[in-house]
Chains A and B, each alone.
Chain A
Amino acid sequence: MSTLKRFAAACLVGTAAIAVSVTTAQAEEKIVISNWDGYMPADMLEKFTAETGIVAEMAVHATNEEIMGKVVAGKGKGYDVLFVSSPFVEALNHLGLVAELDHSKIPNMANLYPQAMELEYDPGLKVSVPYAWGTTGLCYREDLVSPAPTSWMDLLEPKADLKGKITMLSTDRWLMAAAFLAQGKSVNSTDEADLEAAKDLLIAAKKNLLSYDDTTFYSKLVSGEASMVHAWDGWCNYGIGENAAIKYVIPKEGSDLWVDTMVVTAASENKDAAFKFLDFVLKAENGAWVPANILYKVPNKAAMEALDPALVTQFPNLGITPDELLSQEQLRDLGAGQKAFSKTVTEILASN
């Protein structure tokens, strides 16, 4: 046993040394922001610097998982503001990696819908500010799917002519949410019986899929390779923009509500500058860029009210109201339930 202890101690010292050696950020009027590529206006940082004199540097992450990996490994050092989705805010908060927000330094929070202050993963927005939000549902070709889908079961047990022409999201939470919602369960369930039932349904559903697709599903609809895909509303809009026969529907069993947020790292040595950046993003004109350009809804009331009504006609899901959004269940971090959850996902993805 003592050898084991000594071994563990050696490992500890080794990893600690590496953690310490991560460079510390310098304290100057400069902030580093990590966001998804193209998720904010290209000239946003330039304008921010012009207005505030604070230098802002942009880092890019492709997925929540990627930035989580970086931030957890480096304790958030080197980053000031992160764009992450709601379940990750909760995890970062539990890990002590995000800073409490000083609302008095972010006056533009007044631009948010009152509903945005009541998000379960962060009530009162103590550590995060919502940036964009939306639902997950079915995106389909009206001309190829009739009658129009209304239920998650239309995706999970498709009619004969849709078999092999369907894609699903494979990102664990959304994959499972489709089955959970169809079976009337919570999208955050880690209950053994719920996992088992969802697994059976999803393994059966897999046989009818063209593929899993988390990134190019809308182009498969446009090309006609797929007729119906499991999609986030904002991404479905990219398909709608290319082919007006593409429609989006929230199945009758409901959707999840996902929220992409901004957080300030606990390790930030320039929190006031970071708060100024959050405040800048929350300006009505900056918020309005998102729905007008990347077709996502924002929780920014002032920005949504300024939106061109023609866009809502072309992309009806931009018109989903905050009340409708809040009536959907929010994705939460699974905590200790994650192990059983991810094993179930592996079983589904590995099934033949």
Chain B
Amino acid sequence: MPASRLRDWLLLGPGLLWLALFLVIPCAIVFCFSFFERGVYGGIDYIFTFENFQRAIDPLYLSIFLKSAKIAGTATLVALFLAYPAAYAISKAPPNRQTALLVLAMLPFWSNYLIRTYAWIVLLNREGLINTGLRDLGWIAEPLPLLYNEFAIITGLVYNYLPFVILAVYSSISRLNPEILEASEDLGAPSWKTFLRVTLPLTMPGVAAGSVFIFVLSIGNFITPDLLGGGNLLMVGNIIYDQFLTARDWPFGATLSFILIGIMMALLFTQAILVRRAQGDAPEKEEANA
């Protein structure tokens, strides 16, 4: 029906325009810049070259990509282990309490990212609350190296992005059709088996969405490695930042950004396939009702 199609386009229009203006065009510019040369004094010389990509495949940058992926991957795993039980518990709470619990999970977002990150410095530093607390209790003689290392970065990333993961997993669990779980029990499966064979596979879309979310946000992050890592570890976000600002080498920064965008697109694509497969295997509640 043409009328409804027109309505669809009108509804989609603002969102599409937004995406085109602020996502597609900037990405296209980044892509273009990655084929030009840095001017001798910064800026861009519009000379076509593949040099930036040749520089980017240097083992140095590859190792930084891998290191970033490792840190982001660890943060993702830790976040999942924390978020899944939390989301499960929230979804099993009485409905009137669920909203309150979700608000509590999201509460940290009410304060600024930088302030939340600085708070960790106050907690973790050598003279910080945790170290002085443990020392006063007599449990440690020397302060623990809690800050300015990989542990601190992962802690910061998990803390900052955990609410997203909880939300994603929660939305998946709460959409589960209870009849499927009942069926599993009726057929004699113990509850742990129901969880492993039914609940977990059916909530994989939420797990995948949450994982991709935290992974993508973590791998490109440069503030947390800077503040909590004390610059001791370099992540890909830091080198992109440094290329654009400190080195004033926009073309090379653009190249590194584009490679990062490529990795993220591949991940989102994988997640989309996972979701489709899960929905194909067993329709979720809405679709079943539809």
Q: Please give the residue numbers on chain A whose beta carbons come within 8 Å of chain B beta carbons, in ascending order.
A: 4-5, 7-8, 10-12, 14-15, 18, 63, 65-66, 68-69, 72, 90-91, 94-95, 164, 167, 170-172, 206, 209-213, 223-225, 333, 335-336, 338-339, 341-343, 345-347, 349-350
**CB-nearest residue of chain B to A338:** B247
B181 interface hit (Cβ, 8 Å): no
Whole-angstrom distance between the Cβ of A87 and the nearest chain B Cβ: 10
Contacts A68-B42, A213-B230 known; list 4 others, CB within 8 Å.
A8-B35, A15-B33, A209-B230, A349-B231
B127 lies within 8 A of A69 (CB): no
Number of A-B residue pairs at CB separation under 8 A: 118
Contact indicator B48/A8 (Cβ below 8 Å): yes
State A69–B42 Cα separation when bound (angstroms).
Answer: 9
Tell me whether A8 and B239 are in contact in the complex, defined as CB-CB below 8 angstroms, given that A15-B29, A172-B246 are known contacts: no
Say whether B125 contacts A225, CB under 8 Å: yes
B48 — nearest CB in chain A belongs to which residue? A8
- How far, in angstroms, from A280 to B288 measured CA to CA in the complex? 75
Pair B248/A206 contact, Cβ less than 8 Å: no
Q: In the complex, which residue of chain A has the Cβ closest to the Cβ of B63?
A: A350
> Is B243 an interface position by the 8 A CB rule?
yes
Known A65-B245, A350-B60; contact A11-B232, beta-carbon cutoff 8 A: no
> How many interface residues does B have (CB within 8 Å)?
45
Per-residue CB contact flags for chain B residues 81-109 toward chain A (1 = under 8 Å, else 0) read 00000000000000000000000000000
CB of B161 within 8 Å of the partner chain = no
CA separation between A167 and B126, bound complex, in Å?
A: 14
CA distance A341 to B233 in the complex (A): 19
Q: Are B42 and A11 in contact (CB under 8 A)?
A: no
Interface presence of B28 (CB below 8 A): yes
- Does B284 make an interface contact (CB < 8 A)? no
| Contacting residues, chain B, for A209 (C-beta < 8 A) | 230, 232
B258 at interface (Cβ–Cβ under 8 A)? Answer: no
How many angstroms between the C-alpha atoms of A29 and B109 in the bound complex? Answer: 44
Pair A349/B238 contact, Cβ less than 8 Å: yes
A66 to B246, CA, bound (A): 9
Q: Does B39 contact A (CB under 8 A)?
A: yes
Q: How far is the CB of A208 from chain B (nearest CB, A)?
A: 11
